[in-house]
A and B are shown apart, each in its own frame.
Chain A
Amino acid sequence: MRRRPRVASRIFLALIYLFLYAPIFIMIVFSFNASKSRSVWSGFTLDWYTELFSDSMIISSLTTTIGVSVLAAIVATIAGTFAAIGFFNMRKRWRSPLLAINNIPVMNADIVTGVSLCLLFVSLGSVLKYQLGFGTLLIAHITFNIPYVILSVLPKLRQMDRNLVDAAMDLGCTWFQAFYKVIIPEIMPGIINGMMIAFTMSIDDFVISYFTAGSKVQTLSMAIYAMTRKRVSPKINAVSTLLFLFILLLLIIINVRQIRQEEREKKLRTLKSK
């Protein structure tokens, strides 16, 4: 059944990858362009990369983006892991509706999530005398991140041998010890994976931030959006190239981890079968 793909399908694949990568390639190339043009090449320069660090608007929006992504990813990972363990130990009658609600931010259009949170924050804000800002932005990011952590931790819980927890408790562990000495190490790959997904979702988000950040703080995506109305500075190409490389690195780390883990599991399985 394992026939090698034919030439035609190879060419087709190559064209699709060209389609997917052409704009990114152009983006990166024009971050080194000497002039501000976005379609005429006028020589190589690193100026945009050096100027980048003296542009206070870009730096402050980058700090906001990284700050909110890191904080939201950490909070969402902790809350999501607890929630996943809780859901897993519930009866199905309770778990199913809760998981359905958990899926709402995943399935809903970003604009609907953004708008509905915006309405909530504005109506709460008028009561609590609080305006849209970094706080509301962070709450919004945590809210759309947690479901991804849960969806990444739950399968690991399902794979876990249920007897392990019982065994630990029979041997005298309190349920808290069973929790952090047995369950957490078992589901760690799912937790790490969920955190990575949460972080990348946060860093890439535009629509939800746009509706929940208010006018005083802005993320990098919001800064870019504001610029596309006029003209995007090549500095933005430069900062995005850096971010892209950073995320590429993260993705490689995730994949190498996964490959190593699978190889370890394979080895264990062959050991067991012996």
Chain B
Amino acid sequence: MKNKGSTNTILLETIAFVIFNLAFFFILLIFVYNSGSQTFVYEQSYAKQIALLIDNAKTDMIIMVNVVEINKIALEKNKPLDKIFYLDKGNNKVSVSLNPSGGYSYSYFSDYNVDLKLNGDWLSIIITRVN
């Protein structure tokens, strides 16, 4: 028959074991959940998508891109919506940024005059001929 001290130790250890396990899996869940909103993936996919749309466009065309997902993340990250998409016309580059430190950029090879305009959840890519 076990004494009272031994029973208490086993009970204490069982509680500690359960708490350790719960804490461990809770931390893992938080990590996986936070990884799901990795900004780098969104920056990369939107920059490439916009660059490819510009290259595939014809002159005097307006292409509308739904940006509701990236807007949602920008709001979570306190990033002003008008600062997400940036066009470097001198170097033919599209940049998408969800972080204050920087973003992801991708080049396009077409020689069009391109403008980006954000209207709510839609980004307009306006393609006109270079004068």
Report whether chain A binds chain B: no
